[in-house]
Amino acid sequence: MSKLPDNYNPIHHDCEAKGCWNKQYRPNIEYFYHALPRKLTMSDIDGVAEVNGSFLFLEWKSHKGPLPVGQRILAERLTRLSTQITYVVIQHEPGNPMGIENVMVVHAGKFSEWQECSIIDLNDRIAAWAKKVDVQVVGGREAA
């Protein structure tokens, strides 16, 4: 187990001095509702990382139930595009997004069951994913 990460890339918004970030700076993606067919709506992505062409998408939820239908379809279809795409749904304590309790992994269009997971466990899982995909290729072979 690793320790909690340092605040390496903090959000530089001071809510107390500048007000609620969501109200003042978050774009209203619902504006584009009428641009999409069949009452489809945009989905926001809570976190994404790319390492050597492999992608890790993170989606935070305060409940352990099923994803909304649109997000479920998005996760399934997105991960079916390539085995280099992994989508992780993170269930946290309501009101405490870093109080992680469970995760569900979507890979190759398949959903895992919910698995118990703490923030430290999630950090370790992300580190293991990064180590696996951060392969250096030299002269057509993986470098040691």
**pLDDT tens by residue, 107-119:** 999 999 999 999 9
Which tokens sit at 14? 């001071």
Mode of pairing for the β-strands spanning 110-111 and 96-107: antiparallel
Q: How confident is the model at residue 4 (pLDDT cuts 50, 70, 90)?
A: low
Average pLDDT, the chain: 85
How far apart CA 89 and CA 59 sit, in angstroms, is 5
How far apart CA 11 and CA 32 sit, in angstroms, is 26
How far apart CA 65 and CA 86 sit, in angstroms, is 20
How far apart CA 123 and CA 29 sit, in angstroms, is 29
Q: How confident is the model at residue 142 (pLDDT cuts 50, 70, 90)?
A: low
pLDDT tens across 16-68, in order?
777 776 677 777 888 888 888 888 888 888 899 999 999 999 999 998 888 88
Three-class SS state of 15: helix
Contact of 33 with 41, CB cutoff 8 Å: yes
Whether residue 78 is predicted with pLDDT greater than 70 in this model: the reply is yes
127 or 27, greater pLDDT:
127
Mean pLDDT over 74-85 rounds to 97
Residue 94 CA: distances (Å) to CA of 12, 15, 50, 90: 24, 20, 28, 12
14 or 3, greater pLDDT:
14
Q: What is the model's pTM?
A: 0.81
Which tokens sit at 96? 């405490």
